[in-house]
Amino acid sequence: MRIKVTNPNTTAGMTATIAAAARAAAGPGTEILAATSPTGPASIEGHHDEAMSLPGLLAEVRAGEAEGVDGHVIACFGDPGLLAARELARGPVLGIAEAAMHAASMLATGFSVVTTLGRTRVIAEHLVRAYGMERHCRRVRATELAVLELDDPRSDARRRILDECRRALAEDGSGAIVLGCAGMADLARDLQGALGVPVIDGVAVAVRFVEALVACGLGTSKRGDLAYPLPKAYTGPLALLASGSGVPDAA
Ligand code: 2AL
């Protein structure tokens, strides 16, 4: 099967990290198509960044549908545009926060999220409530690392994330850690070895969850709000991104 993994920020180096994690997790016979958003912010660290990332992300989801992929992963921890992407897609579409939180809830009675800047914490907290994870998520913690520091081999990102994970285990009563950024995907194994508890990278588990759903013959419901978008006239630059959709009943 073919799974498209889209990085909604425009930093190709981060997409390389994400693609490596996705390919390492995927089962035999799964091809990972990794994409970087063609337009928008270099990193996503707030509500405005998320909004500005959506046209590029949705263009990639449309392109994946036109190529006939079996499912999608949105590789940013805010799960930007998740429901909009589901409207466009035939197969399953999973966000990495959604996948990681569900995985964590199956592995421990409580988990902590360790994320990047403090200003992104409220985004993760909104998702905790949207996914009904209030009973499982003990706390969302910020490291005050900028997303692009994760992409810089000279940064001390690993040490700062490890320190915050240790504080989470000591203070939150958590049994598992959810990594709160796609750019942390390459750290999960190493952190799990150092901490001795499950450390969950959402990219890996989202790929495996998509595989499982597709293998069960399941896709996105096309009944109700996740039906393909209604055809509309578009004005301005978005007309280019919304055209050639490959959306069957919007064509
Ligand atoms: C993210 C992420 O996963 N990618 C990005 O650009 N921003 N999330 C975050 N909390 O920093």
pLDDT in tens, 206-241: 999 999 999 999 999 999 999 999 999 999 988 887
**Runs of H (alpha helix) within 89-217:** 96-107, 121-130, 157-171, 188-195, 202-215
| Residue 232, helix vs strand vs coil | coil
**Average confidence score pLDDT of the chain:** 95
| pTM for this entry | 0.96
pLDDT band of residue 153 (cuts 50, 70, 90) is confident
Phi, psi of 194 (to 5 degrees): -75, -30
Residues with CB under 6 A from ligand 1: 9, 43-45, 76-78, 115-116, 120, 147, 180-183
pLDDT tens digits, one per residue of 78-135? 999 999 999 999 999 999 999 999 999 999 999 999 999 999 999 999 999 999 999 9
Instruction: Show the tokens assigned to 164.
Output: 């915050």
Q: Summarize pLDDT for 58-81 with one digit per residue, the tens.
A: 999 999 999 999 999 999 999 999
Q: 46 CA distance to ligand 1 centroid (A)?
A: 9
- For residue 247, the model assigns a pLDDT of 62
Confidence of residue 243 (pLDDT cuts 50, 70, 90): low
| Under 8 Å between Cβ of 76 and 6 | no
Mean pLDDT within 181-207: 98
Structure tokens at 77: 């921890």
Report which ligand 1 atom has the smallest distance to the Cα of 116: 11
Using CA positions, which residue lies closest to atom 5 of ligand 1?
A: 44
State the closest ligand 1 atom to the C-alpha of 180, by its place in the atom list counted from 1.
10
